[in-house]
């Protein structure tokens, strides 16, 4: 879209526009799109005298008109636009054919691509007419949203003449919702679709979600988990699912379902689910017919098979192509597609075998099947070869399937990237992947062109985001919504710049004040590099609890098991040798130019070095640093960057909605504290393992830290942390509940301050366990300086990096001899476990 400077508002209002977030949006009780980026008039009326009309009667055109009325009303109210000056002006919405018939003399784009639109305006003031012409009905809706985005971005809508269309046909979200209302890897409460084994009665949030999706061009929503999908194909559930499809239909979002390939046996009563068995084929055909009778615009199936315990065609010696084509045949006459996931791997690998490599699996299994898939099958591949880590190389499969339509799966729900408790704007990562040039046949082959079907001339292709929205304000954290927005925008146009997308989102969501926009964009853009720095840099992957929560640090959890997320850290060095010459051979799965780059440590970029090579800790990076020093430096840098996010946000106080400000302030402070938990766990783990000190003397030295295990303890018992790196010094104290009959009422840890007199910030690091809510009181010389309840919903029920939390009490005056005391009061099963207090002079850190 062009960068024309606005005079629309001046035309209508003659006032400068500065939209500030309205308080109603963040406090709304019902779950609405207003909680995300679609702001509308508080009372639903339009203050702007601008007629909006549709030329046709189609459902989507009506939605487009309603949306324009609502959006323009909102812009008018919030921007205090004057009334009446635009009387007579109008916005007209229609398909290209309708526009041509209504305005025969008006030039109309003749060759719009499917789902595309043209926006144009003629006349001025009372005679202004803006025409939204869609290639089809969906195009009219997308055009309407584009017009609203132009308004929010202050572009000149009085001189419009532009057209646009989506780069890729498949732009879906996948939800991993279970029928019981839980969501696999969801971090925003319970399902908006299901509860108690059924579709929810109230589907208003589903309609609002579809509205949000449509506003960024998303055209499909797969509503159920890829694990345990069989119950979703029962006749009763399908009838209920038709209501879900109905709720999304006005927004052009088609329903899709994850299916269990063993369904003919599990729910169909057949003795087999062999994809080549005629009875199985007939079962799927009848099932597809049943679905389309209920949901005529049904989009298709997503399949996870032979993966992580899900059944698959391998049980019968059949291939993924056999299974995909079975489903494709059933859907074909109805226009449905199959998204067959390439996330197929053996999770019982032998970790002692240095040639074993999970990263190889997708290519090894799917590349030999290239050309064998039916035309309505799309192979859906995660962006990297492992599993949504903080950084991975691009999956080589994108270059390995030249005769198959492909989609890329990414995660909006932040499974391995902070679970929405950490601000991590992922669009820069996705953009790197989209732009990555695979150099297939020695020619430019960026991933985005593969997904558009253009690189290898395939009929289909696209992007799919595992979204994980729930009832808690969609994604739990207000700023996490920038990821959902950015996914839609990049799937529509992968050429867009993530910073521009962030600015666009901020203007629509938080405010248009240029300083506010600059600050929020800076924060978003800094957030992924910061997270990568304090979790797992150099391509080591996220060094988290691989077999559990996927949240806090747990460095060895990936080793000595069959899951294959190995980093192979030992006393001498770290990293996985994936070279062809001496390693697993994974590097050789890329087209030759890229394979050559990754084959040697010297030619591999620093950020992926340890993904491809096992090197000594003393190995020098291109940056000139040794690997071990980089590990120390990046973790300290990442934690500092997380602390800066708090300061940046603080600069917005009073300039943005108060409730939003407070919500995010608390989240960012938590993140800054948890970044220190991460930093210390990893820096100290590698210090101990390598025995090589940090040149800057930081790792393992914490001058202001007073350990709980060294305190004068009353009631508290010293415990060993597991893993050891998750608590400072490997130990903590726990106010262990003695027994149900004689529970500990409270415990205390007390220290005498021996440092210099001055003013300090004092961080208290404790463990906020599930279930229960312990409380803490921090006292200086017997006077309470702070008290709080530890009631956050963090993973894990034992003291662990998942729930290790820092709370900073600021501006405390201390002199030698002062007594510092933490009183912990257990709450249910939360024993008020405590790690340390840390005293830092004000102005020198957290
Ligand atoms: C739906 C990872 C996640 C699983 C998820 C799986 C997948 O392993 O941790 O929760 O299962 O990916 O993508 O199928």
Answer yes or no: are the C-beta atoms of 769 and 826 closer than 8 Å: no
What pLDDT does 124 receive? 81
Establish whether 641 is a catalytic residue: no
Atom of ligand 1 nearest to the CA of 304: 14
Establish whether 415 is a catalytic residue: yes
Of 388, 474, 471, 397, nearest in space to 436 by CA: 397
Burial, 438: exposed, middle or buried (Cβ in 10 Å; 0-12, 13-18, 19+)? buried
Ligand 1 touching residue 343 (CB < 6 A): yes
pLDDT band at 159 (very low <50, low <70, confident <90, very high): confident
Ligand 1 touching residue 209 (CB < 6 A): no
Task: Read off the pLDDT of residues 485-503 as tens digits, 9 standing for 90 and up.
Answer: 999 999 999 999 999 999 9
Ligand 1 touching residue 227 (CB < 6 A): yes
What pLDDT does 264 receive? 98
What pLDDT does 11 receive? 33
pLDDT band at 10 (very low <50, low <70, confident <90, very high): very low
Mean pLDDT, rounded, for 463-488:
97
Lowest-pLDDT range of 43-47, 52-56, 321-325: 43-47
pLDDT band at 742 (very low <50, low <70, confident <90, very high): low
Establish whether 308 is a catalytic residue: yes
- The rounded Å distance from CA 146 to ligand 1 centre is 34
Q: What average pLDDT is seen over the chain?
A: 92
Atom of ligand 1 nearest to the CA of 466: 13
Lowest-pLDDT range of 155-169, 230-244, 275-289: 155-169
- The rounded Å distance from CA 223 to ligand 1 centre is 15
pLDDT band at 23 (very low <50, low <70, confident <90, very high): very low
Task: Read off the pLDDT of residues 606-621 as tens digits, 9 standing for 90 and up.
Answer: 999 999 999 999 999 9
Q: Looking at 387, 504, 633, 830, which residue is catalytic?
A: 387
Atom of ligand 1 nearest to the CA of 227: 1
- The rounded Å distance from CA 114 to ligand 1 centre is 33
Q: Which residue has the CA at smallest separation from atom 13 of ligand 1?
A: 343
- The rounded Å distance from CA 415 to ligand 1 centre is 9
Provide CB contacts within 8 A for 736, sequence distance 6+.
717, 719, 744, 831
Mean pLDDT, rounded, for 399-403:
98
Indicate if the pLDDT at residue 33 is higher than 90. Answer: no
Rounded to whole angstroms, the Cα distance separating 174 from 378 reads 15
pLDDT band at 744 (very low <50, low <70, confident <90, very high): low
Lowest-pLDDT range of 81-95, 120-134, 367-381: 81-95
Indicate if the pLDDT at residue 139 is higher than 50. Answer: yes
Counting Cα atoms < 13 Å in the Cβ hemisphere of 210 gives 27
Which of 108-112, 149-153, 425-429 has the highest mean predicted lDDT (pLDDT)? 425-429
Mean pLDDT, rounded, for 326-346:
98
Indicate if the pLDDT at residue 752 is higher than 60. Answer: yes
Rounded to whole angstroms, the Cα distance separating 288 from 64 reads 31
What pLDDT does 153 receive? 74
Ligand 1 touching residue 551 (CB < 6 A): no
Distances in Å between the Cα of 392 and the Cα atoms of 303, 359, 396, 531 are 23, 10, 11, 14
Distances in Å between the Cα of 380 and the Cα atoms of 43, 119, 466 are 43, 33, 12
Ligand 1 touching residue 416 (CB < 6 A): no
Report residue 643 as tokens.
Answer: 């602390």
Q: Which of 175, 185, 410 to mutate to test the pocket of ligand 1 (most atoms within 8 A of CB)?
A: 185
Lowest-pLDDT range of 335-344, 736-745, 784-793: 736-745
Indicate if the pLDDT at residue 4 is higher than 80. Answer: no
Indicate if the pLDDT at residue 14 is higher than 50. Answer: no
What pLDDT does 87 receive? 64
Atom of ligand 1 nearest to the CA of 225: 1
What pLDDT does 80 receive? 31
Q: Which residue has the CA at smallest separation from atom 8 of ligand 1?
A: 387
Ligand 1 touching residue 306 (CB < 6 A): no
Per residue, what are the HEC states of 607-632? HHHHHHCCEECCCECCCCCEHHHHHH
- The DSSP symbol for 823 reads E
Question: What is the share, in percent, of the chain residues with pLDDT greater than 90?
Answer: 85
Q: Looking at 308, 435, 647, 695, which residue is catalytic?
A: 308
- The rounded Å distance from CA 385 to ligand 1 centre is 13
- The rounded Å distance from CA 421 to ligand 1 centre is 19
What pLDDT does 178 receive? 98
Indicate if the pLDDT at residue 224 is higher than 70. Answer: yes
93, β-bridge pairs: 54, 132
Ligand 1 touching residue 489 (CB < 6 A): no
Q: Which residue has the CA at smallest separation from atom 2 of ligand 1?
A: 387
What pLDDT does 6 receive? 31
- The rounded Å distance from CA 342 to ligand 1 centre is 12
Of 119, 130, 148, nearest in space to 33 by CA: 148
Indicate if the pLDDT at residue 86 is higher than 70. Answer: no
Ligand 1 touching residue 182 (CB < 6 A): no
What pLDDT does 50 receive? 77
Atom of ligand 1 nearest to the CA of 550: 9
pLDDT band at 787 (very low <50, low <70, confident <90, very high): very high
Lowest-pLDDT range of 148-162, 419-433, 748-762, 806-820: 148-162
What pLDDT does 495 receive? 98
Provide CB contacts within 8 A for 548, sequence distance 6+.
554, 557, 795, 796, 802
What pLDDT does 357 receive? 97
Task: Read off the pLDDT of residues 665-693 as tens digits, 9 standing for 90 and up.
Answer: 999 999 999 999 999 999 999 999 999 99
Q: Looking at 177, 306, 415, 726, which residue is catalytic?
A: 415
Please tell me which residue, 82 or 504, carries the higher pLDDT value.
504
463, β-bridge pairs: 171, 408
Ligand 1 touching residue 175 (CB < 6 A): no
Indicate if the pLDDT at residue 2 is higher than 50. Answer: no
Q: Which of 227, 307, 308 to mutate to test the pocket of ligand 1 (most atoms within 8 A of CB)?
A: 308
- The rounded Å distance from CA 170 to ligand 1 centre is 21
- The rounded Å distance from CA 340 to ligand 1 centre is 14
Distances in Å between the Cα of 432 and the Cα atoms of 393, 428, 447 are 10, 6, 9
């Amino acid at each position: 879209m062009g960068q024309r400077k606005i005079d629309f508002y001046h035309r209508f209002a003659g006032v400068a526009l500065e939209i500030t977030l309205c308080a109603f949006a963040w406090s709304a009780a019902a779950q609405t799109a207003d909680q995300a980026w679609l702001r509308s008039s508080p009372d639903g009326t339009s203050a702007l005298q601008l007629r909006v009309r549709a030329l046709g009667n189609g459902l989507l055109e009506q939605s487009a008109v309603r949306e324009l009325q609502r959006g323009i009303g909102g812009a008018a109210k919030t921007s205090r636009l004057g009334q009446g000056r635009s009387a007579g002006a109008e916005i007209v919405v229609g398909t290209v054919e309708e526009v041509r018939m209504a305005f025969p003399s008006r030039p109309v784009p003749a060759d719009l691509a499917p789902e595309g639109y043209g926006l144009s305006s003629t006349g001025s003031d009372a005679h202004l007419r803006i025409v939204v012409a869609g290639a089809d009905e969906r195009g009219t809706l997308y055009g309407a949203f584009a017009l609203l985005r132009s308004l929010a971005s202050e572009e000149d809508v009085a001189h419009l003449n532009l057209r646009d269309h989506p780069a890729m046909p498949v732009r879906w979200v996948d939800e991993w919702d279970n029928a019981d209302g839980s969501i696999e890897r969801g971090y925003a409460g319970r399902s908006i679709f299901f509860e108690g084994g059924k579709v929810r009665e109230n589907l208003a949030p589903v309609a609002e979600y579809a509205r949000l999706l449509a506003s960024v061009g998303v055209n499909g929503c797969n509503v159920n988990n890829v694990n345990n999908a069989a119950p979703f194909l029962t006749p009763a559930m399908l009838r209920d699912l038709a209501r879900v499809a109905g709720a999304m239909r006005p927004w052009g979002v088609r329903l899709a379902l994850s299916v269990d390939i063993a369904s003919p046996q599990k729910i169909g009563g057949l003795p087999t689910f062999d994809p080549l068995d005629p009875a199985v084929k007939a079962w799927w055909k009848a099932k597809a017919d049943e679905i389309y009778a209920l949901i005529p615009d049904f989009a298709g199936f997503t399949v996870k098979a032979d993966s992580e315990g899900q059944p698959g065609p391998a049980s019968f010696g059949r291939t993924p192509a056999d299974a995909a084509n079975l489903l494709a045949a059933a859907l074909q006459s109805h226009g449905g597609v199959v998204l067959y996931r390439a996330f197929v791997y053996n999770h019982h690998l032998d970790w002692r075998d240095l040639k074993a490599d999970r990263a190889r699996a997708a290519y090894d299994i799917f590349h030999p099947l290239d050309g064998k898939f039916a035309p309505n099958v799309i192979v859906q591949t995660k962006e990297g070869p492992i599993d949504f880590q903080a950084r991975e190389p691009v999956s080589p499969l994108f270059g390995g399937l030249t005769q198959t339509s492909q989609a890329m799966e990414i995660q909006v729900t932040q499974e391995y990237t902070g679970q929405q408790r950490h601000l991590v704007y992922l669009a820069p990562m996705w953009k790197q992947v989209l732009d990555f040039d695979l150099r297939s046949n020695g020619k430019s082959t960026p991933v985005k062109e593969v997904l558009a079907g253009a690189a290898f001339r395939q009929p289909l292709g696209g992007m799919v985001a595992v979204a994980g929205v729930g009832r808690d304000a969609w994604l739990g954290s207000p700023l996490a919504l920038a990821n959902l927005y950015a996914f839609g925008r990049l799937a529509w146009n992968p050429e867009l710049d993530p910073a521009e997308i962030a600015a666009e989102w901020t203007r629509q969501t938080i405010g248009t004040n240029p300083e506010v926009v600059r600050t929020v964009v800076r924060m978003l853009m800094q957030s992924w590099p910061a997270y990568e720095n304090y979790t797992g840099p150099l391509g080591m992957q996220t060094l988290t609890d691989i077999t559990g929560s996927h949240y806090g640090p747990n460095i060895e959890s990936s080793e000595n098991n069959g899951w294959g997320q190995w980093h192979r850290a030992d006393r001498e060095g770290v990293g996985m040798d994936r070279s062809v010459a001496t390693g697993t051979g994974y590097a050789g799965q890329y087209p030759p130019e890229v394979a050559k780059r990754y084959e040697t440590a010297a030619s591999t970029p620093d950020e992926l070095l340890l993904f491809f090579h096992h090197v000594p800790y003393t190995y020098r990076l291109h940056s000139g640093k040794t690997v071990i020093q980089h590990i120390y430096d990046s973790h300290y840098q990442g934690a500092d960057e997380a602390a800066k996010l708090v300061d940046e946000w603080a600069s917005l106080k009073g300039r943005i909605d108060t409730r939003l400000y407070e919500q995010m302030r608390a989240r960012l402070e938590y993140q800054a504290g948890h970044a220190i938990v991460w930093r210390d766990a990893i820096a100290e783990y590698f210090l101990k393992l390598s025995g090589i000190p940090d040149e800057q003397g930081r790792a393992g030295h914490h001058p202001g830290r007073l350990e709980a295990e060294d305190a004068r303890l009353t009631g508290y018992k010293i415990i060993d942390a597991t893993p050891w790196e998750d608590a400072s010094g490997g130990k903590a104290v726990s106010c262990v509940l003695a027994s149900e009959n004689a529970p500990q009422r409270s415990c205390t840890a007390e220290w005498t301050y021996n440092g210099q007199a001055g003013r300090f910030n004092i961080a208290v690091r404790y463990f906020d366990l599930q279930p229960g809510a312990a409380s803490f009181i921090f006292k200086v010389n017997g006077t309470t300086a702070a008290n709080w309840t530890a009631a956050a919903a963090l993973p894990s029920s034992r003291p662990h990096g998942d729930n290790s939390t820092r709370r900073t009490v600021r501006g405390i005056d201390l002199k030698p001899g002062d007594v510092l005391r933490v009183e912990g009061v257990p709450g249910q099963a939360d024993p008020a476990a405590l790690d340390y207090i840390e005293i830092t002079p004000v102005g020198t850190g957290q």
